[in-house]
């Protein structure tokens, strides 16, 4: 009863005293005003961001990229205007910065003039970043600057997405071009493969032909060496023949001179024989006159004896010369026959060589022309292969550069499926490998072509030497042929003259024998004549007989002399023919010697040329082998390159890009936010903090308008005193909590997991703060209110209602677990956001502990004070 009466008395006092009632009623709305207005003001500040004025200065000049005009500044401004995140206002640079300082704008975003241009420097050696100048007016409003900073990051992200999208579009355009280039390269490689196959076949044919040529060149070389040896023998024999014929010509001249002398002597002999015959006839007829002319006859007989002796001696010498001449004539006839046979053989050989050498010259000329043509073709082919090698090098460098560029862009390709990205990387690797093989093959081909061209040039030069030697040989053979014809004609004349000479020599021999017989007879006759003349005095008969015999002998001598003269004339004619033939033979042998010398020189040159041909043919065969290997590698490499390029073209052509692909490239990561304990807005997030703050402020203000220390009537004891005060405060605290809950749940539309538990927790929170304030004010009076304010300040900074506990100073973190607002904030978060009721009940239990502790402290103090105050009053 006492307790109930004391409570009623407290209520009655409040109702009757308007100075207490009206403030109490006003204080009942303090929590809702405090918490409600704060929450209302901060419920969703980002919902009105479109009303926050922000200046945009677009100084971008644009730039050209791959033939397209890039206007990132205009695109960004357009996108910002469409987003309506802020109240964006487009201004010039001067006005923008001036009005920012005049606090017309909370922030300014400047797009520099090189904004778009920097976006085109991705592939430059020193790429430039796109810069946005963000200028917040922090003095105007710090939070707006922080919000603007977040917005600037979003703008940066949007720009990055736009730039990445542009890059992606360019990349996929390039990939399409690469696909076309791959296809063209594949077609070109296919043609190159076909051409290299033809080249490979041609190189094989060339290799076979060159192998045959090398073999034949060896045979040609051996034949040339044999011909060279024969030509040297021919030259040596022609020299010996020329020397013998020259000796023959000289001897024939001497023989002709001797024959002329013999002919002259024969004429004289014939004349003397004639005269002798005439004289003897006269002597025979005029025997009568014999005696008269005896002296003369004796003298003439002596002369005849001397002449016959001289004639006999001359005929002896002539006979010896005739025998020597006959032997020489026999040898000359044999030599002439051998010469004629040798000339026929030489003529046949020269004829054969004359017919074959033009073929050899023509073949060598054709071979030289073929070598020059081959050299020209190989030079052109070398140039083309060099161009191909250069093209392959450029292709390899381009592919390597493309791969490097695409490798740099791989982070932008992370959004592609792994399979596509792997295919793209594989295609790039295959392309790089194929281009490297093409590069190596074309370089090897160019090297082989250079070696082959050098071999062909050397072969052409050697063939030129051979050709010149063959021309000299051909000229020498022509001259040799002419000389052989002259030699043949001279040999024919020589043989004919020799035959005539031999015949005449035979006749001469016969007549000479007769002449010798006549001469012997003449000698005997002359001796007899001398004897007769000596014995003339002994008998005329003997004279007559001797005269008859002398006449007969003189007649025989006359006949022999005339025969001798006739033979000598024929012999002189034969010797002239012999001399003429010997001269012609000497001239022909000289031509033969010169031709043989030319032939020997030409054959030497031809032999050297044959050696050069053999050497060149060997080098050409080696070069042909290298060419064969190179063309084989080229054929294989070009085929593989064509296949790889075709595969690469297929793989790259599978990449089909559209706006979705570009968007995927620019926004490869989609952030799926799966929120745990979702908080829809600032108001919901700040409700635990501001509601706790409002209820604490409400409890604190109740201590001002409601007398917590003085009872309305005398309490029975300290506990009764406490209960009377706490009951009133509890009712007021509950009313405060209910009013705040109704406004927050109804007017502000706060969504909680459980309304009853939310109301229950807000009431317990209010009672906790009321018990705390009651304790401090009851015990310490006005100082207690100051202490309560200090507790409020510590609670506001340590309860983790705004920033996480870990973000506040370490010193303040120690107060977190000691103060009740920590648990009110945590409990409200559990019932509003997480729905973790176990955690809510845990915090509620701790708050009950605070209530009990503060109630016990207050009761203890009031009990002590009750005893002190009311005991003194009773005693008084």
| Of 202-206, 247-251, 282-286, minimum mean pLDDT range | 282-286
C-alpha distances in Å from residue 832, one per residue of 300, 533, 759, 840: 193, 200, 11, 10
Backbone angles phi, psi at 735, to 5 degrees: -65, -45
* Long-range pairs of 654-663 with CB within 8 A, sequence gap ≥ 24: 654/420, 654/423, 655/172, 655/175, 655/176, 655/179, 655/420, 655/424, 657/168, 657/169, 657/172, 657/175, 657/176, 661/168, 661/172, 662/165, 662/168, 662/169, 662/172, 663/165
User: Max Cα separation, the chain?
Assistant: 255
Do 114 and 243 lie in one domain? The reply is no
Q: What is the CA radius of gyration of the chain?
A: 74
Backbone angles phi, psi at 69, to 5 degrees: -85, 125
Beta-carbon contacts of 312 under 8 Å, excluding residues fewer than 6 positions away, are 519, 520, 522, 523
| Of 49-53, 87-91, 526-530, minimum mean pLDDT range | 526-530
Do 662 and 640 lie in one domain? The reply is no
Whether 393 shows a pLDDT value over 80: the answer reads: no
Average pLDDT over residues 415-440: 70
- Per residue in 234-267, pLDDT (tens digit) is 667 667 766 766 776 677 677 667 667 766 766 7
Beta-carbon contacts of 621 under 8 Å, excluding residues fewer than 6 positions away, are 207, 210, 211, 213, 214
The per-residue pLDDT for 416 is 59
Do 417 and 282 lie in one domain? The reply is yes
* Domain stop point among 605, 639, 666: 666
The per-residue pLDDT for 138 is 73
Instruction: Provide the domain limits for residue 524.
Output: 187-653
* Domain stop point among 666, 699, 721: 666
Burial of 350 (0-12, 13-18, 19+ CB in 10 A): buried
Do 60 and 122 lie in one domain? The reply is yes
Q: How far apart are CA 860 and CA 872, in angstroms?
A: 18
| Confidence at 2, pLDDT banded by 50, 70, 90 | very low
Q: How far apart are CA 475 and CA 111, in angstroms?
A: 93
The per-residue pLDDT for 400 is 75
In a domain, 672, yes or no: no
Percentage, residues of the chain above pLDDT 90:
16
Whether 876 shows a pLDDT value over 50: the answer reads: no
List for the chain the helix, strand, coil content (%; round to 5).
85, 5, 15
Do 360 and 230 lie in one domain? The reply is yes
**How many domains does the structure of the chain reveal?**
3
The per-residue pLDDT for 356 is 66
Residue with tokens 């300290």: 718
The answer to whether 71 touches 116, Cβ cutoff 8 Å, is yes
Q: Please state whether beta strands 68-70 and 63-65 pair in parallel, antiparallel, or not at all (unpaired).
A: antiparallel
The answer to whether 537 touches 309, Cβ cutoff 8 Å, is no
Beta-carbon contacts of 502 under 8 Å, excluding residues fewer than 6 positions away, are 329, 330, 333
Do 257 and 398 lie in one domain? The reply is yes
In a domain, 182, yes or no: no
**DSSP string covering 417-442:** -HHHHHHHHHHHHHHHHHHHHHHHHH
| DSSP code for 534 | H
Among 111-125, 612-626, 639-653, 728-742, the range with the most confident prediction by mean pLDDT is 728-742
Residue with tokens 């207690």: 784
57: β partners:
110
Whether 204 shows a pLDDT value over 50: the answer reads: yes
Average pLDDT over residues 668-692: 75
Q: How many other CB atoms are found less than 10 A from the CB of residue 751?
A: 11
In a domain, 180, yes or no: no
Q: Which letter, b or e, does each residue of 502-540 get, where b requires 16 or more Cβ atoms within 10 Å of its Cβ? A: bebbebbbebbebbbebbebbbebbebbeebbeebeeee
Q: How far apart are CA 639 and CA 633, in angstroms?
A: 10
Tell me which of 375 and 768 has the higher pLDDT: 768
Do 107 and 145 lie in one domain? The reply is yes
Backbone angles phi, psi at 126, to 5 degrees: -125, 80
What is the average pLDDT value for the chain, to the nearest integer?
Answer: 74
Distance of CA 144 to the CA centre of its chain: 60
Q: How many other CB atoms are found less than 10 A from the CB of residue 836?
A: 17
Q: Please state whether beta strands 68-70 and 87-90 pair in parallel, antiparallel, or not at all (unpaired).
A: unpaired
Whether 109 shows a pLDDT value over 80: the answer reads: yes
Length of the chain equals 876
* Domain stop point among 602, 633, 666: 666
Beta-carbon contacts of 284 under 8 Å, excluding residues fewer than 6 positions away, are 547, 548, 551
In a domain, 377, yes or no: yes
**DSSP string covering 795-806:** HHHHS-SSS-GG
Q: How far apart are CA 529 and CA 524, in angstroms?
A: 8
Q: How far apart are CA 770 and CA 727, in angstroms?
A: 11
The answer to whether 483 touches 592, Cβ cutoff 8 Å, is yes
The SS3 call for residue 94 is helix
Average pLDDT over residues 490-513: 69
| Confidence at 413, pLDDT banded by 50, 70, 90 | low
Tell me which of 642 and 111 has the higher pLDDT: 111
Do 530 and 594 lie in one domain? The reply is yes
What pTM, to 2 d.p., does this model score? 0.45
Tell me which of 706 and 637 has the higher pLDDT: 706
Q: How far apart are CA 463 and CA 457, in angstroms?
A: 10
The per-residue pLDDT for 294 is 60
- Per residue in 860-872, pLDDT (tens digit) is 999 998 888 776 5
Do 218 and 161 lie in one domain? The reply is no
Do 26 and 57 lie in one domain? The reply is no
| DSSP code for 749 | -
Q: How far apart are CA 313 and CA 714, in angstroms?
A: 216
Whether 340 shows a pLDDT value over 80: the answer reads: no
Do 83 and 209 lie in one domain? The reply is no
Q: How many CA atoms are closer than 13 Å to the CA of 397, on its beta-carbon side?
A: 5
Distance of CA 404 to the CA centre of its chain: 16
Q: How far apart are CA 719 and CA 69, in angstroms?
A: 87
| Confidence at 660, pLDDT banded by 50, 70, 90 | low
User: Closest by alpha carbon to 424, among 719, 171, 762, 74?
Assistant: 171
The answer to whether 638 touches 193, Cβ cutoff 8 Å, is yes
Which CATH number characterizes residue 154's domain? 3.40.1710.10
The answer to whether 654 touches 178, Cβ cutoff 8 Å, is no
The answer to whether 242 touches 592, Cβ cutoff 8 Å, is yes
The per-residue pLDDT for 759 is 96
In a domain, 318, yes or no: yes
| DSSP code for 126 | S
The per-residue pLDDT for 218 is 73
Do 436 and 552 lie in one domain? The reply is yes
In a domain, 677, yes or no: no
Average pLDDT over residues 174-189: 67
| Confidence at 808, pLDDT banded by 50, 70, 90 | confident
User: Closest by alpha carbon to 818, among 774, 850, 773?
Assistant: 850
Tell me which of 744 and 320 has the higher pLDDT: 744
| CA-angle at 225, arms to 223 and 227, nearest 5° | 70
Q: How far apart are CA 490 and CA 609, in angstroms?
A: 36
**Which helix (H) or strand (E) covers residue 644, if one does?**
helix 540-653
C-alpha distances in Å from residue 356, one per residue of 142, 220, 477, 609, 808: 112, 13, 11, 17, 115
């Amino acid at each position: 009863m006492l307790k109930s009466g004391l409570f009623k008395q407290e209520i009655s006092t409040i109702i009757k005293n308007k100075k207490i009632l009206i403030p109490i009623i006003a204080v009942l709305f303090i929590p809702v005003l405090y918490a409600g207005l704060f929450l209302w003001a901060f419920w969703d500040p980002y919902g009105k961001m479109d009303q926050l004025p922000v200046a945009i200065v677009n100084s971008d000049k644009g730039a050209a990229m791959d033939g397209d005009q890039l206007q990132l500044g205009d695109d960004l401004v357009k996108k910002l205007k469409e987003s309506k995140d802020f109240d964006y206002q487009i201004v010039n640079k001067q006005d923008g910065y001036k009005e920012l300082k005049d606090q017309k704008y909370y922030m300014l975003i400047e797009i520099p003039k090189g904004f778009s241009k920097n976006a085109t420097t991705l592939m430059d050696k020193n790429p430039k970043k796109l810069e946005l100048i963000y200028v917040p007016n922090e003095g105007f409003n710090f939070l707006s600057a922080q919000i603007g900073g977040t917005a600037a990051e979003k703008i940066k992200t949007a720009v990055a997405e736009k730039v990445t999208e542009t890059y992606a579009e360019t990349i996929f355009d390039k990939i399409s071009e690469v696909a076309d280039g791959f296809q063209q390269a594949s077609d070109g490689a296919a043609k190159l493969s076909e051409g290299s196959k033809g080249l490979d076949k041609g190189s094989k044919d060339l290799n076979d032909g060159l192998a045959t040529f090398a073999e034949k060149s060896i045979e040609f070389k051996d034949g040339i060496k044999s011909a060279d040896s024969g030509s040297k023998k021919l030259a040596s024999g022609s020299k010996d023949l020329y020397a013998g014929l020259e000796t023959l010509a000289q001897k024939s001249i001497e023989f002709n001179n001797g024959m002329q002398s013999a002919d002259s002597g024969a004429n004289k002999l014939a004349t003397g024989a004639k005269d002798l015959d005439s004289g003897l006839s006269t002597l025979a007829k005029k025997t009568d006159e014999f005696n008269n002319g005896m002296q003369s006859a004796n003298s003439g007989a002596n002369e005849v004896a001397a002449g016959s002796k001289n004639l006999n001696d001359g005929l002896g010498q002539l006979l010896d010369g005739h025998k020597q001449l006959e032997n020489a004539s026999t040898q000359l006839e044999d030599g002439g026959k051998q010469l004629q046979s040798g000339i026929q053989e030489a003529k046949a050989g020269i004829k054969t060589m004359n017919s074959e050498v033009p073929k050899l010259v023509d073949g060598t000329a054709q071979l030289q022309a073929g070598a020059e043509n081959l050299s020209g073709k190989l030079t052109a082919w070398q140039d083309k292969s060099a161009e191909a090698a250069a093209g392959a090098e450029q292709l390899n460098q381009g592919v390597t550069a493309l791969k490097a560029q695409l490798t740099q862009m791989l982070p932008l390709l992370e959004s592609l499926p792994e399979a596509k990205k792997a295919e793209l990387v594989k295609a790039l690797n295959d392309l790089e490998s194929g281009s490297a093989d093409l590069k190596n093959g074309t370089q090897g081909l160019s090297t082989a072509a250079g070696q082959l061209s050098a071999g062909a040039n050397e072969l052409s030069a050697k063939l030129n030497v051979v050709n010149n030697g063959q021309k000299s040989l051909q000229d020498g053979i022509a001259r040799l042929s002419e000389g052989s014809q002259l030699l043949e004609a001279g040999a024919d004349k020589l043989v004919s003259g020799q035959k005539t000479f031999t015949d005449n020599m035979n006749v001469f021999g016969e007549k000479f024998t007769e002449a010798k017989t006549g001469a012997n007879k003449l000698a005997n006759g002359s001796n007899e004549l001398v004897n007769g003349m000596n014995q003339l005095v002994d008998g005329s008969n003997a004279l007559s007989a001797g005269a008859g015999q002398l006449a007969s002998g003189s007649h025989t001598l006359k006949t022999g002399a005339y025969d001798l003269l006739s033979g000598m004339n024929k012999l002189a004619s034969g010797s002239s023919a012999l001399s003429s033939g010997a001269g012609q033979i000497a001239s022909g042998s000289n031509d033969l010697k010169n031709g043989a010398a030319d032939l020997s020189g030409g054959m030497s040159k031809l032999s050297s040329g044959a050696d050069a041909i053999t050497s060149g043919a060997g080098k050409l065969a080696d070069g042909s082998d290298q060419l064969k290997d190179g063309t084989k590698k080229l054929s294989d490499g070009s085929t593989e390159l064509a296949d790889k390029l075709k595969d690469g073209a297929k793989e790259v052509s599978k990449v089909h890009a559209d706006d979705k692909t570009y968007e995927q490239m620019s926004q490869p990561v989609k952030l799926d936010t799966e929120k745990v304990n979702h908080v829809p807005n600032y108001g919901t997030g700040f409700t635990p903090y501001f509601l706790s703050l409002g209820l604490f402020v409400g409890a604190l203000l109740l201590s001002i308008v409601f007398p917590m220390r003085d009872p309305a009537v005398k309490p029975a004891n300290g506990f009764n005193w406490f209960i009377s005060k706490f009951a009133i405060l509890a009712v007021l605290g509950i009313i405060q909590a209910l009013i705040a809950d109704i406004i927050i749940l109804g007017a502000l539309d706060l969504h909680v997991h459980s309304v009853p538990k939310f109301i229950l927790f807000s009431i317990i929170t209010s009672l906790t703060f009321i018990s705390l304030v009651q304790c401090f004010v009851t015990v310490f009076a006005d100082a207690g209110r100051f202490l309560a304010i200090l507790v409020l300040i510590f609670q506001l900074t340590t309860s983790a209602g705004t920033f996480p506990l870990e973000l506040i100073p370490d010193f303040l973190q120690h107060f977190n677990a000691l103060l009740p607002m920590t648990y009110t904030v945590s409990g409200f978060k559990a019932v509003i956001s997480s729905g973790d009721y176990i955690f809510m009940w845990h915090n509620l239990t701790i708050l009950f502990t605070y209530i009990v502790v503060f109630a016990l402290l207050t009761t203890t103090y009031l009990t002590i004070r009750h005893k002190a105050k009311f005991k003194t009053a009773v005693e008084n």
